[in-house]
Amino acid sequence: MNVLFVSAILGVLLMLSSLFIKHRAYIHSLALIGLAVLFAINLAEFNGWLLFEMDLSGMLRFDRYALVMNAIVLASFFFYLLLSGSAMEKVGPHYADYLALLFFICSGLFMVTGFESLLILFLGIEIISIPLYILTGSDKRNLKSNEAALKYFLLGSFSTGLLLLGIAFFYGARGNFIATASVDPTVMSSSLQLAAVLLLLFAMSFKVSVAPFHFWTPDVYDGAPTVFTSFMATIVKGALFAAFVRLFEDTFSPQFSLWQPWVAGFIVLTLLIGNLTAVFQQSVKRMLAYSSIAQAGFMLLAVYAINGDSKEGLLLYAASYSLATIGIFAVLVYLQDHTFEGFNGLAKKQPIVAASLAIFFLSLAGIPLTGGFLAKLFMIKAALAYQPWLAIVSVVMAVVSVSYYFRVIQAMYFRTDAQSSSIEFPKSLSIGLFITALIVVLLGIFPETILGLLYF
Amino acid sequence: MVVLLLLLIPLIGVCFLFLYKGDHKFASAASLKLSFASLLVMCFRLCYWNTPEQLSFTAPWLTSLGSSFSIRMDGLGTILSLLTTAAYFLLFWYMKSRTIERPAAFFAWLLLAQAGMLGVFLAMDSLLFYFFWELALIPMYFLASQWGGARRIPVTFKFFIYTFLGSVFMLIGILYLQSKTADHSFALESIKKIKLTSDQQSWLFWLFFIAFAIKLPVFPFHTWQPDTYEESPTPVTAILSAIMVKMGILGLLRWVLPLFPIASYMWGDVVMSMAVAGIVYASFLAMQQVDIKRLIAYSSIAHIGLMTAGAFALNQLAYQGLLIQLFTHGINILGMWILVDIIERKTGTRSIDSLGGIAQHSPTLTIFFVIIALANIALPLTNAFVGEFLLFIGILATPSTYYWVFAVVGGLGIILSAVYTLRMIRAVFYGQPNATSSMPITLSWHEIGALVLIVGLILFFGIYPQPLLDMTADFSKDLFGQTDITSLFRKS
Of residues A367, A414, A451, nearest to B145 (C-beta): A414
B64 touches chain A (CB under 8 A): yes
Cβ distance A384 to B172 less than 8 Å, yes or no, reads yes
Residue of B171, B177, B207 to mutate when probing chain A, most A C-beta within 10 A: B171
**B220-254 pLDDT, tens digit each:** 898 999 999 999 999 999 999 999 999 999 999 99
Taking the C-alpha atoms of residue B22 and residue B19, their distance in angstroms, rounded to an integer, is: 9
Q: Domain span at residue A300? A: 2-454
pLDDT of B373 over the 80 cut: yes
Closest residue of B to A385, CA-based? B179
Taking the C-alpha atoms of residue A51 and residue A7, their distance in angstroms, rounded to an integer, is: 14
Peptide bond into A254 cis (omega under 30): no
Taking the C-alpha atoms of residue A325 and residue A393, their distance in angstroms, rounded to an integer, is: 23
- CB contacts, 8 Å: B172 with chain A: 380, 384, 388, 391-392, 395
**A12-41 pLDDT, tens digit each:** 999 998 888 888 888 999 999 999 999 999
- CB contacts, 8 Å: B138 with chain A: 362, 367
**Long-range contacts of A148-152, Cβ-Cβ distance < 8 Å, separation of 24 or more:** A148/A219, A148/A220, A148/A222, A148/A223, A148/A224, A149/A223, A149/A224, A151/A216, A151/A219, A151/A220, A151/A223, A152/A216, A152/A220
- CB contacts, 8 Å: B146 with chain A: 413-414
Task: Quickly state the pLDDT bin for B149 (edges 50, 70, 90).
Answer: confident
Taking the C-alpha atoms of residue B147 and residue B238, their distance in angstroms, rounded to an integer, is: 14
Cβ distance B165 to A396 less than 8 Å, yes or no, reads yes
Task: Quickly state the pLDDT bin for A456 (edges 50, 70, 90).
Answer: low
Higher pLDDT, A51 or B420: B420
Closest residue of B to A393, CA-based? B169
Closest residue of B to A368, CA-based? B131
- CB contacts, 8 Å: B236 with chain A: none
Residue of B146, B164, B199, B206 to mutate when probing chain A, most A C-beta within 10 A: B164
Percentage of chain B surpassing pLDDT 70? 99
**A155-200 pLDDT, tens digit each:** 999 999 999 999 999 999 888 888 887 777 777 778 888 899 999 9
Residue of A379, A414, A448 to mutate when probing chain B, most B C-beta within 10 A: A414
Task: Quickly state the pLDDT bin for B325 (edges 50, 70, 90).
Answer: very high
Of residues B62, B145, B168, nearest to A398 (C-beta): B168
- CB contacts, 8 Å: A406 with chain B: 157, 160
* DSSP letter, residue B152: H
Measure the CA dihedral A436/A442/A447/A452, to 10°: -80
Of residues B64, B145, B179, nearest to A384 (C-beta): B179
Of residues A369, A413, A452, nearest to B142 (C-beta): A413
B161 touches chain A (CB under 8 A): yes
Closest residue of B to A378, CA-based? B65
Cβ-based neighbours of A430, under 8 Å, separated by 6 or more: A350, A352, A353, A356
Taking the C-alpha atoms of residue A287 and residue B466, their distance in angstroms, rounded to an integer, is: 59
Cβ distance A377 to B171 less than 8 Å, yes or no, reads yes
pLDDT of A277 over the 90 cut: yes
Residues from A contacting B (CB-CB < 8 Å) are: 362, 367-369, 377, 380-381, 384-385, 388, 391-392, 395-396, 398-399, 402-403, 406, 410, 413-415, 447-448, 451-452
Q: Which pLDDT value is given to residue A382?
A: 86
Å between A452 CA and nearest CA of chain B: 9
Taking the C-alpha atoms of residue B454 and residue B86, their distance in angstroms, rounded to an integer, is: 10
pLDDT of B492 over the 60 cut: no
Taking the C-alpha atoms of residue A37 and residue A39, their distance in angstroms, rounded to an integer, is: 5
- CB contacts, 8 Å: A391 with chain B: 172, 175
Å between B49 CA and nearest CA of chain A: 30
Taking the C-alpha atoms of residue B358 and residue B428, their distance in angstroms, rounded to an integer, is: 7
Q: Which pLDDT value is given to residue A275?
A: 94
Percentage helix, strand, coil for chain A under 3-state DSSP, each rounded to 5: 80, 0, 20
pLDDT of A440 over the 80 cut: yes
Q: Which pLDDT value is given to residue A446?
A: 87
* For range B350-378, the mean pLDDT: 87
Cβ distance A396 to B168 less than 8 Å, yes or no, reads yes
Percentage of chain A surpassing pLDDT 90? 61
Of residues A362, A392, A452, nearest to B172 (C-beta): A392
* For range B467-479, the mean pLDDT: 88
Of residues B134, B160, B168, nearest to A395 (C-beta): B168
Task: Quickly state the pLDDT bin for A58 (edges 50, 70, 90).
Answer: confident
Cβ distance B152 to A399 less than 8 Å, yes or no, reads no
Residue of B168, B174, B178 to mutate when probing chain A, most A C-beta within 10 A: B168
Taking the C-alpha atoms of residue B15 and residue B35, their distance in angstroms, rounded to an integer, is: 15
Cβ distance A410 to B169 less than 8 Å, yes or no, reads no
- Pick from B135, B328, B187: nearest CA to B249: B328
Cβ distance B62 to A448 less than 8 Å, yes or no, reads yes
Residue A167's alpha-carbon distances to A90, A115, A201, A425, B356, in angstroms, are 40, 14, 11, 48, 83
| Cβ under 8 Å to A: B residues 162-201 | 164-165, 168-169, 171-172, 175-176, 178-179
Task: Quickly state the pLDDT bin for A334 (edges 50, 70, 90).
Answer: confident
Cβ distance B160 to A399 less than 8 Å, yes or no, reads no
Q: Which pLDDT value is given to residue A420?
A: 55
**B153-180 pLDDT, tens digit each:** 899 999 999 999 999 999 999 999 998 8
Cβ distance A384 to B142 less than 8 Å, yes or no, reads no
Cβ distance B153 to A451 less than 8 Å, yes or no, reads no
Taking the C-alpha atoms of residue B477 and residue A358, their distance in angstroms, rounded to an integer, is: 45
Question: Rounded to the nearest 5 degrees, what angle is found at the Cα of B159, between the Cα atoms of B158 and B160?
Answer: 90
pLDDT of A278 over the 90 cut: yes
Q: Which amino acid is at B400?
A: S
Strand partners, B70: B58
* For range B278-288, the mean pLDDT: 92
Closest residue of B to A399, CA-based? B165
Cβ-based neighbours of A110, under 8 Å, separated by 6 or more: A3, A4, A7, A66, A70, A73, A124
Of residues A381, A398, A403, nearest to B175 (C-beta): A381
* For range A408-424, the mean pLDDT: 79
pLDDT of A421 over the 70 cut: no
> Chains A and B: how many Cβ contacts under 8 Å?
65
Taking the C-alpha atoms of residue B369 and residue A167, their distance in angstroms, rounded to an integer, is: 79
pLDDT of A418 over the 70 cut: no
Closest residue of B to A446, CA-based? B62
Taking the C-alpha atoms of residue B305 and residue B330, their distance in angstroms, rounded to an integer, is: 15
Q: Among A55-59, A110-114, B103-107, B488-492, whose mean pLDDT is lowest? A: B488-492
Higher pLDDT, B95 or B490: B95
- Pick from A357, A381, A380: nearest CA to A432: A357
- CB contacts, 8 Å: B157 with chain A: 403, 406, 410
pTM of the predicted structure, to 2 decimals:
0.94
* DSSP letter, residue B182: T
Closest residue of B to A396, CA-based? B165
B131 touches chain A (CB under 8 A): yes
Task: Quickly state the pLDDT bin for A398 (edges 50, 70, 90).
Answer: very high
Higher pLDDT, B25 or B459: B459
Task: Quickly state the pLDDT bin for B491 (edges 50, 70, 90).
Answer: low
- Pick from B144, B123, B137, B140: nearest CA to B167: B137
Peptide bond into B52 cis (omega under 30): no
- Which ipTM value was assigned to this complex? 0.92
Please report the sign of the dihedral spanned by the C-alpha atoms of residue B337, residue B339, residue B342, residue B347.
negative
* For range A324-339, the mean pLDDT: 89
Q: Pick left, alpha or beta for residue A276 (phi over 0 → left; psi -120 to 50 → alpha; otherwise beta).
A: alpha
Q: Among A367-376, B51-60, B298-307, B334-343, whose mean pLDDT is lowest? A: B51-60
Are A228 and A327 in contact, with CB atoms under 8 Å apart? no
Cβ distance A448 to B64 less than 8 Å, yes or no, reads yes
Cβ distance B63 to A448 less than 8 Å, yes or no, reads yes
* For range B343-369, the mean pLDDT: 86
* For range B101-126, the mean pLDDT: 92
Q: Which pLDDT value is given to residue B174?
A: 93
Question: What's the mean per-residue pLDDT of chain B?
Answer: 89
- CB contacts, 8 Å: B135 with chain A: 368-369
Cβ distance B153 to A381 less than 8 Å, yes or no, reads no
* DSSP letter, residue B72: E
Return the domain boundaries, chain B.
1-266, 269-487
Cβ distance A414 to B146 less than 8 Å, yes or no, reads yes
Number of Cβ atoms within 10 Å of the Cβ of A64: 12
Cβ distance B134 to A399 less than 8 Å, yes or no, reads no
Task: Quickly state the pLDDT bin for B69 (edges 50, 70, 90).
Answer: very high
* DSSP letter, residue B59: E
Number of domains present in the structure of chain A: 1
Q: Pick left, alpha or beta for residue A262 (phi over 0 → left; psi -120 to 50 → alpha; otherwise beta).
A: alpha
Question: What's the mean per-residue pLDDT of chain A?
Answer: 89
Cβ-based neighbours of B87, under 8 Å, separated by 6 or more: B238, B239, B242, B243, B330, B331, B334
pLDDT of A154 over the 90 cut: yes
Cβ distance A414 to B138 less than 8 Å, yes or no, reads no
